[in-house]
Structure 1
């Protein structure tokens, strides 16, 4: 039976288990939108294509399934670029579908033509320009397979209008046929044996866990390994929630904005077990001083990450869950650990804390958010100071409950991502913690959450500055605050103008009441928290310093 390319696209999406698309229509995707009119797929119309990309990203992070976004050619496609790059840096499975001019006009600078496959080549796991409708079904099958297997990532499919509007016989293409693409999920037994020997010989082990633990579904194995070794677990920003933050062995986040006790532990350990991590610069800082006396084990699905930034003594390439299981099978539980006791003393001596002065502090706001919600919500953040306060002062007990932009550090990510998380988790509460600068980058999505009655709760940590940039200008540029003071709208009135509920909090005693009221409201709520304007994120490792040399 013949189908149009657009109908084949819809059929292929359904075959991959897709239930939701985030998108924005335009001329070169009209055949696709016509097919969506009768399709058994939910389409969320965002108010900007960047919002669609971030929403698909958030959906993927919360659900573990590939998120899907759709945009037209030219500016529609290029507006997806930041969201695609964000997903690529954080290894998030996503399929971005773009319209393109008809094949006969390719390369002729046609109206709304952009070489989106060329533009996104460095920021996708793979991409396709489909020139024949006969290839469309197989392309969709391959794209989803690539996006979700191995180290996940975004895949882009560019579809000219004559392909989506053309016809072909449709049949299920069967399994993806990719002879040049293979994923090694099983670790080498000899490397596992070497890792086990190093673990058994260690006295001061530290586990350094990242987003790969969450992507790989290895949180239970991580917990088991830590309890067998009585080893402290330091997580990256992307790894928060992969290990229970309230567990005695948790030392929280490490690196530039990490806790003192996490950074001291890594600096003094004799064995560092990196699990699903990239050893990125925000963690390591001064490379030659990072874990200087430690043997390093690196467990990761992507062999390209092994040794890329830090020399590794024992590489274990494979699926992190499978790899941890193989290692755990060979270990005997430790009954006592003086190293663990030393870590606990550091936690008491160097707590994460702040100085109260009577004005509303962001740390107090985040702590009260946790007290009201007890960690039973999905937290999504933007990027900046509020992101670090959310990392330190809210405790995450389970995976996929802390969702943030890590590698790319994208301001404007949080609110549309929270929209996607809410779509993925309709029966859960989604709390978006954002800054006044970040929120204004995609505040138009208030129209989307109101239109679809998505009950996202948005807390704006409002200091009237681009806070993290201002902090750096304070510390390293003699308080020369160059173009970081920002003015914004009345956020309460802005929320109300879109049809959402707006609340303003001006003192600590009002925070709990505002949060409780927001939780009672069945729809979206915006809470404006005007905070102490020059509050800094501490501890803080200055650039180029070892991670055990912290300010604050």
Structure 2
């Protein structure tokens, strides 16, 4: 009940309640629910926010009022408020949270006008690219324009309605601006439709002018009634299942590419039953890692540019590729060089027709779980040959032996490399613990090296691969799964982008274990630069030397001291034994711990024997670039368009 709210009658004799626009937003969001398979839960876990003059008297006042009233009533606020340190980071935290929740719960994020709101643009892009539902509430300039131009107002002489928030339009799956209170209900309901739709979902943005946020209006009470949004499981057409089964049954060397859709639809058990019946091996995208446990007989691990040699060998030979819930990114297809059988055909199962038609494949538009179960029945007693099963097993074992060798740490006190750090973290973590990463060399190494044992144990943001996501994302994962330990793997370059969220973790009592790898620069781009003939230019954190180039001594950056200054507990390690002890201390502790370890960026993880299309300068005076272009030109000969339709 809102304090001192007046109740009126609408023209249709419906009771109304007088609230500001911001108060109405808070009350509406608190009463939104989602339901799938008969399980119902509140859709919004809360609201992240940083307040400025654009929202402090609007959304800030509304959230405060809701919190005070809940306290007076002896209850928890229906919409919990959390203060972040960076607007982009708050969106990352919300995105990570909803991914861990299989997109069945999320957060709203509010920011002030101007830079506060535009700081969320990167987060909006990340959420939309990864198909993750997040509600953004950027504040906007005065609707009345009575004081125009106001602070942080974008003036365009050709369009008085254009504000910086229009930049959200291409980055959002839904966008609206509430110039008048009467527009709010349609904006909120429109946003909810998109947020709860597995096909349409992504960032939903409702821009709220700062004067409108504080404006009072008589709202119909029905606007604030509990609403339950049903998440459907679209069934596949029988004719398409029959055609898909016919294509698969004709295959001698089929391969499954399991994407994020397997995880989000909860199709893991259905996939397990399907591959155990048919013997078809399963490769995984970044988002699909965890579709099968790493040691399942049909699991061959990561596929593509950062894949395993097992998955990539099978991909090169596959005559039928069954994509389940994947959008076929360039890393998954190794820039369209992975699937090289000249007669390869594709069967694509996806809830979104946009993704199902890719690679010229047979399009099965349906929920992943429903389609897999239908295919299992349709295929009857179909199974791959014993020889193919044996080949799958042999290739998987060879890669597993490679991983074991990469994990091995010599008991001689020597410094660690990144593969060994990953191996130690993997070995010392529990099966249900979650690893979080996003950018640098670490995601590729994790994709092929991390032995995933639980369907929600792997969380690498690789749709946008956004530097700075890691710590903010780790907070979101931990908030969504408080019973799991969360290992945030981050290099020094990405850490320096958004280390401030350590303070948010400390503030909220959210325990994460941050493994901070000191590379003294951008290890991933350094390696890529070298392979492209650019000699690691501009990728190391160095002083300028006497010639004026950034090639002098290493910068004396103390990341451990930085982490400690933000309230985290810090342990500096060098050897495997020290790292092991540090992880044990961190897991036993109750607070966020940063394990700082310096590694040698010149020792690489095992090669995927694959490729990623990054263009090389076609002409150069540098011998290194000339050599790199020759290699690039050879790979381009292998690249295939995959436009031939699967009949």
- TM-score (structure 1 length as normaliser): 0.92
Q: CA deviation at 1:398?
A: 2.6
- Corresponding residue number in structure 1 for 2:30: 14
**Structure 1 unaligned residues grouped into runs of 5+:** none
Match of 2:116 among 73, 76, 100: 76
Pair 1:169–1:542, CA change in 2 (3 A): closer
Question: Which residue number in structure 2 is paired with residue 319 of structure 1?
Answer: 367
Q: Show the counterpart of 1:295.
A: 345
Alignment counterpart, residue 611 of structure 2, candidates 538, 542, 547: 542
Q: Deviations over 1:35-64 (max 9, x none)?
A: 111321221111110111111111111123
Q: Hey, what's the Cα distance between the residues in 2 that align with 1:306 and 1:524? A: 41
**Aligned equivalent of 1:144:** 192
Q: Is residue 2:181 matched to residue 1:133?
A: yes
Show the counterpart of 1:263: 312
Q: How much does 1:194 deviate?
A: 0.3
Which residue does the alignment assign to 1:5? 21
Q: CA deviation at 1:536?
A: 2.3
* Alignment match, 2:629: none
**Change over 3 Å in CA distance of 1:113–1:378 after alignment to 2:** farther
Tell me the secondary structure at the aligned position of residue 408 of structure 1.
coil
SS in 2 for 1:29: coil
Indicate the larger mover: 225-234 or 64-73: 64-73
CA contact 2:509–2:591 (8 Å) conserved in 1:
yes
Aligned residues of 2:409 and 2:576 also touching (Cα < 8 A): no
Alignment partners' CA distance in 1, 2:495 and 2:582: 19
Partner Cα distance (2:317, 2:595) in 1: 42
Match of 1:52 in 2: 90
- Counting matched residue pairs gives 544
Q: Conserved in 1, the CA contact under 8 Å of 2:110 and 2:137?
A: yes
Structure 1 residue matching 2:60: 3-state secondary structure? helix
Kindly indicate whether the alpha-carbon contact (under 8 Å) linking 2:143 and 2:179 is maintained by their aligned counterparts in 1. Answer: yes
Deviates more, 1:468-477 or 1:485-494: 485-494
1:522 and 2:590 matched = yes
| Aligned counterpart, 1:171 | 221
Contact preservation (8 Å) 1:419, 1:456? yes
Q: RMSD over aligned Cα, in angstroms?
A: 2.6
Q: Distance in 1 between matches of 2:423 and 2:481?
A: 24
Indicate conservation of the 8 Å contact 1:382/1:410, yes or no: yes
CA contact (8 A) 2:306 2:447 kept: no
Match of 1:425 among 445, 456, 481: 481
Q: In the TM superposition, what is the alpha-carbon distance from 1:497 to its structure 2 partner?
A: 1.7
Residue of structure 1 equivalent to 2:579: 511
The answer to whether 1:85 aligns with 2:125 is yes
Q: Cα–Cα, structure 1 residues 195 and 334, in superposed 2: closer, same or farther, change >3 Å?
A: closer
Q: Is the 8 A contact 2:525 2:539 kept in 1?
A: no
Question: Structure 1 170/8 Cα, relative in aligned 2: closer, same or farther at 3 Å?
Answer: farther
Alignment of 1:359 with 2:427, yes or no, is: no
- The Cα of 1:176 is off from its aligned counterpart by 9.1
Q: Judging changes above 3 Å, is the alpha-carbon distance between structure 1 residues 480 and 25 closer, same or farther for their aligned structure 2 residues? A: closer
Q: Does the CA-based 8 Å contact 1:449-1:524 persist in structure 2?
A: yes
CA distance in 2, matches of 1:488, 1:7: 49
From 141, 166, 182, give the equivalent of 1:101: 141
Alignment pair present for 1:119 and 2:119: no
CA change 1:184–1:379 in 2 (3 A) is closer
1:225 to 274, 288, 298: 274
* C-alpha separation in 1, matches of 2:447 and 2:606: 12
Q: CA deviation at 1:196?
A: 1.2
Residue 388 of structure 2, aligned match among 320, 339, 342? 339
DSSP-derived class of the 2:286 partner: coil
Partners of 1:228 and 1:158 lie apart in 2 by 51
Q: Distance in 2 between matches of 1:325 and 1:489?
A: 54
- The CA deviation at 1:334 is 4.9
Q: Where does residue 508 of structure 2 map in the other structure?
A: 452
8 Å Cα contact 1:463/1:534 also seen in 2: no
CA contact (8 A) 2:304 2:333 kept: yes
Tell me what 1:404 maps to. Answer: 460
Deviation at 1:155, TM superposition (A): 0.7
Superposition map of 1:274-313 within 5 A: 274-287=323-336, 290-292=339-341, 293-308=343-358, 310-312=359-361
Distance 1:176 1:123, change over 3 A: farther
> 1:272 touches 1:296 (CA, 8 Å); kept in 2?
yes
Contact 1:389 / 1:537 at 8 angstroms: preserved in 2?
yes
- After alignment, is 350-359 or 196-205 more displaced? 350-359
Flag the 1:107–1:538 CA change in 2: closer, same or farther, 3 A: farther
Q: Pick from 43, 61, 67 the counterpart of residue 34 of structure 1.
A: 61
CA-to-aligned-CA distance 1:333-371 (integer Å, 9 cap, x gap)? 456632121121222344345387843121111111122
1:204 to partner: Cα distance:
1.4
The 3 A distance-change label for structure 1 pair 538 and 113 is farther
Q: Distance in 2 between matches of 1:362 and 1:403?
A: 18
CA contact (8 A) 2:138 2:207 kept: yes
- Single out whichever of 78-87 and 166-175 deviates more from structure 2: 166-175
> What CA distance in whole angstroms lies between the structure 1 residues aligned with 2:591 and 2:442?
24
Render the CA deviation track for 1:299-330: whole Å, top value 9, x for unaligned.
Answer: 1111122334x221x11012222222222232
Taking structure 1 as reference, are residues 246 and 21 closer, same or farther at Cα in structure 2, changes over 3 Å only?
A: farther
Work out whether residues 527 and 536 of structure 2, in 8 Å CA contact, stay in contact via their aligned partners in 1: no
Q: Distance in 2 between matches of 1:191 and 1:13?
A: 39
Indicate if the aligned counterparts of 2:418 and 2:601 stay in contact, CA closer than 8 A. no
- Is 1:192 aligned to residue 241 of structure 2? yes
Q: In the alignment, which residue of structure 2 is the partner of 1:161?
A: 210
What is the Cα deviation at residue 289 of structure 1? 6.2
* 1:61 corresponding residue in structure 2: 99
SS at 1:27's partner residue? coil
